[in-house]
Amino acid sequence: MAERIHHCAWCGEAFKVATGPGRPRRYCRKSHRQRAYEARREAERRNLGPDEVIITRRTWVQLRDALYRLEAAAEDVAIDLGAGRTTKADYVQALAHLSSAVRDLQDVAVEPTALAE
């Protein structure tokens, strides 16, 4: 039986789904299906609109700070490389700086408490 690649409706991770009868899976794990169900119920309880999501303050602060570091790193790289620096070492250093900021962002796990579909 052929397999297709889908992305989990909860975490976005790619996973394989066998083609065949029935509805295709939307979640990579049963626990993600359960979390999505709980988040939808909480969204209904709070009367959230389709564009509204509730996350914890801690997650919000982590996300905000990581995005700020990424933005600052991108500006630093633009300034450094725009100032006439064109050596390979300068590019390697700039890439390492950006990579570090991206890793900070990757470490932020955003899992909503309530999420309307």
Binned at pLDDT 50, 70 and 90, residue 72 comes out as: very high
User: 54 - beta bridge partners?
Assistant: 114
Mean pLDDT score, 60-75: 93
Report the C-alpha gap between 92 and 72 in whole angstroms: 17
For residue 1, what pLDDT is reported? Answer: 56
Binned at pLDDT 50, 70 and 90, residue 85 comes out as low
C-beta of residue 18 within 8 angstroms of C-beta of residue 2 = yes
Q: What is the chain's mean pLDDT, rounded? A: 89
Closest of 99, 116, 101 to residue 46, by C-alpha: 116
The predicted pLDDT at position 87 comes to: 87
Q: Is the pTM value of this prediction over 0.85?
A: no
- Distance CA(15)–CA(6), nearest Å, equals 6
Give yes or no for a contact between 114 and 39, defined as CB atoms under 8 angstroms apart: yes
Using CA atoms, how far apart are residues 42 and 115, in angstroms rounded to an integer? Answer: 7
